[in-house]
Amino acid sequence: MQPKYSSLHSGDEKMPRTGNSASYKRLRMLRVKFTSRSFIFLLLSGLTIALFKVLQDKQGFSPYWKTAFNALWIYLSLGLGGSTMAAFGDIAQVVKWKILASGKSTLVQVNLILRLSDPKSFSKLASASFKSRRFLLSLACFAWILVLLVTQVCVGLLGTFYEMNTVAMVHFTHGLVNITDMRNFYPDSHRDKGIEPEYSVQQSMAHFYGDMATNFPFGMPGISDYREYLLPEPYPNTNSTQWIYYFQEAYSYERLGGGFIHLGGKTNRSVKITPQCEYCPIVGGQYSGMEDTNITISMGGKNVTIDWILDWPTAATTYLNPSGGSSATKTCGPRCSRIYIFQSVDKTWNPPSSTGSFFNCTITVSQVQNANPRQPLHSMPDRTAVTAAGAIGLDGYSEHNSRQFVRYRNSSSWGQRLGDSTHLAELFVGKYAAGVIAAYDFYGPSVEVMGLQSRLETNLSVEWLALIVTLGCIFGVQLMGWVLAFCYHDSVPYDDDSQLATAKFLKPLLEHVETSGSTSTGHKTSLRVTPLVSYSLRPDPSNGRRIYSLDVTED
């Protein structure tokens, strides 16, 4: 093939614009591609927004939903990225013909132009154009690559606009749970639940659990042994002396992927502990010495002498349960216990005081709130409530008058100076009773009943503005590309059904450029020869039909 010059007449140059049938066909195909690509992108965007909205509104979803969400999001994000790349690929099919017809190109450039589709092909064309000093084309290719990269980065950023937080106690399902058997205060050595422990043993155990609760919680927040739900809570606020405790439930369930998850958590079953104390000054027997065998208390303007509390030491607080030796509930109500508090004068007190303190207190434990009436073990019997209420004065050993005493030194949590503060006295006896219930609920023997199992759930929070703006920007860039394609679709002669459109036209041309022929591939040959080519539409001299041609020139 000999290099030759060719030119088009002005009428031939305008033929692509006047070929209504071919032009309409190209426009129709372009509309189909635009409509389908836009529909797919908008559909995927809508599904993404719907997925985020549905899961955010659920206010907690299970691990199964979390797995399904992750899978759906992966498919949607891949679909958004693939749809964007496909749209730019379709646009490139139009733009490449405009590039090819914009001027003379080397065979290497023609080969690259015809293969334009992805960022890699654009980068190769940009490099080849820069070497041949077609700087404007090189800059346009780099701009196209930048647009593609930015849109893909935007698709990737969509995954940063939501956050999943794993929480517990959100979703509940019916199932077997383990709760503490509150029918009695069982010691650790007690194995047969059918045999009721001695009441004195239960009293001693109740006091043991109360002292144990002094150190609740057993760690700092954030470490493995910290259990916030073990803490009784002041009710209704921190200035109140009333306490509330929410019972816990424990259970195991098989998790997704195998294995078991062991959970325990706070339920909505609760009891309230309500203390009331009356202060009376001690006016006689202040120092609790050997000579002070009687204590005189001023009650209602009258002095009352107590001779049944013996050998109570100085610098100590004595809690006395007047009905400790009896399981009867005859003192202040069916779920109430009475506690007397004696606090002698300590010469080391600062400021010093010459008056000791006596408090007459009652502690009432409510019925269990939100207990299932069809589950008797959800409740707490009256005797258990009375024992817990008066546990601060129980040691399990009764005097002949049925009274029990427990003494705390002033260095202990329960031996602090009370003065005349009924608020502080109520705070102590109420918190101790609540601690008895909390510690026993955690460490006591469990029984299996039907209840509500919580599940580790996930909450989804979405930055809606950033998500919608990013999706809009991606689609806006695609629209700009489609506008470019519609502007160029009829400004250059091309036909997707021609040999040139399938890039097969170059191979026979390049294999016969040299006079002796060549067995090299078209790409290798194009690197060794220097003619330029020009793509155009011109008449065929043999029959007058207009054909698409690639003219090889020397300039």
192 & 316 share domain = yes
Tokens of 157: 């950023």
Residues of the chain by 3-state class (helix, strand, coil), percent to 5: 40, 25, 35
Nearest to 509, CA basis, from 555, 554, 551: 551
Contact 526, 106 (CB under 8 A): yes
Residue 177 lies in a domain: no
Q: What six digits make up the tokens of 301?
A: 């303007």
Which of 444, 477, 510 corresponds to the end of one domain?
444
Domain stop point among 444, 474, 495: 444
Q: What is the model's pLDDT at position 21?
A: 57
pLDDT single digits (tens) 447-504: 888 877 766 667 788 889 999 999 999 888 888 888 877 776 665 555 544 434 444 4
Is the same domain home to 121 and 91?
Answer: yes
- Based on the domain organization, do 431 and 484 belong to the same domain? no
Q: Does residue 236 have a cis bond before it (omega within 30 degrees)?
A: yes
- Please report, to the nearest 10 degrees, the dihedral formed by the alpha carbons of residues 435, 437, 442, 445 taken in order: 140
Residue 86 CA: distances (Å) to CA of 3, 140, 239:
38, 19, 66
**Are 344 and 380 members of one domain?**
yes
Which of 70, 57, 59 has its CA nearest to residue 159? 70
Distance CA 2, CA 506 (A): 15
263 occurs within a structural domain: no
Q: Who contacts 498 (Cβ-Cβ below 8 Å, separation ≥6)?
A: 505, 548
- Residue of 96, 48, 90, 84 lying closest to 69 (CA atoms): 48
pLDDT tens digits for range 147-169: 888 888 888 888 888 887 765 44
Q: Which of 268, 183, 213, 179 is nearest to 436 (CA)?
A: 213
Residues 294-327 pLDDT 10s? 788 888 788 988 877 755 666 778 899 988 655 4
Instruction: Assign 441 to helix, strand or coil.
Output: helix
**Same domain, yes or no: 213 and 319:** yes
> What's the pLDDT score for residue 95?
75
Tell me, yes or no, whether 437 and 486 share the same domain: no
Q: What is the pLDDT of residue 244?
A: 93
* Residue 344: burial class (beta carbons within 10 Å; 0-12, 13-18, 19+): buried
Neighbours of 111 (CB within 10 A): 21
In a domain, 264, yes or no: no
- Cα separation values, 168 from 37, 52, 457, Å: 42, 21, 6
- DSSP label at 404? E
DSSP for 199-246 reads HHHHHHHHHHHHHHGGG-SSS-TTSTT--GGGS-EEESSTT-SEEEEE
Claim to verify: residue 193 and residue 316 sit in the same structural domain = yes
**What pLDDT score was predicted for residue 8?**
40
3-state secondary structure of 77: helix
- Both tokens of 200, joined, read 């004195």
pLDDT at 375: 87
Q: What is d(CA 178, CA 215) in angstroms, rounded to the nearest whole number?
A: 24
How far are the Cα atoms of 39, 86, 248, 283 from residue 36, in angstroms, in the given order?
5, 11, 56, 96
What is the SS3 assignment for 295?
strand
Residues 446, 181: contact at Cβ < 8 Å? yes
Q: 14 with 126, same domain?
A: yes
155 CB neighbour count, 10 Å cutoff: 21
Residue 335 inside a domain? The answer is: yes
In angstroms, rounded to a whole number, what is the distance separating the alpha carbons of residues 481 and 140?
A: 13
Residue (of 193, 172, 178, 168) closest to 450 by Cα position: 178
Q: Are 114 and 196 part of one and the same domain?
A: no
pLDDT value of residue 1: 33
Per-residue pLDDT of the chain (555 residues; tens, 9 = 90+): 333 334 444 444 444 444 455 566 767 777 888 888 889 989 999 999 998 888 888 766 766 777 888 888 888 888 888 888 888 777 777 777 777 666 666 666 776 776 676 777 788 888 887 877 778 878 888 888 888 888 888 888 888 888 877 654 445 667 788 889 999 998 877 767 778 888 888 999 999 999 988 876 554 555 555 555 567 888 888 888 999 999 988 876 555 455 555 566 778 899 999 999 999 988 887 765 555 667 888 887 889 888 777 556 667 788 999 886 554 445 688 999 999 998 877 766 666 667 788 999 999 999 999 998 888 899 999 999 999 999 999 987 765 567 888 988 878 888 888 888 999 999 999 999 999 999 999 888 888 888 777 666 677 888 899 999 999 998 888 888 888 777 766 655 555 444 344 444 454 444 444 444 444 554 555 555 555 666 555 666 776 665 556 665 544
**Domain contains 1:** no
- Structural domain count of the chain: 2
Assign residue 398 a region: left if phi > 0, alpha if psi is -120 to 50, beta otherwise? Answer: beta
DSSP state of 61: B
pTM: 0.55
List the Cα angle 108/114/115 in 5-degree steps.
Answer: 90
In whole angstroms, what is the distance from residue 473 CA to residue 482 CA?
A: 14
What pLDDT is recorded for position 384?
94
Tell whether 373 and 231 lie within a shared domain. Answer: yes
The values of phi and psi at residue 158, to 5°, are: -55, -30
Residue 41 lies in a domain: yes
Same domain flag for 119 and 194: no
- Looking at 416, 444, 472, the residue that finishes a domain is 444
From the CA atom positions of the chain, what is the Rg in Å?
A: 44
Query: Do the domain assignments include residue 73?
Result: yes
Work out the number of other CB atoms within 10 angstroms of the CB of residue 381.
Answer: 13
Q: Are 367 and 382 in contact (CB under 8 A)?
A: no
The domain of 276 spans 187-243+270-444
- Residue 255 DSSP code: P
State whether 439 and 479 are in the same domain.
Answer: no
pLDDT of the residue at 3: 34
Residue 197 lies in a domain: yes
Burial zone of 124 (CB within 10 Å; 0-12 exposed, 13-18 middle, 19+ buried): middle
Find tokens 């519609």 and name the residue: 486
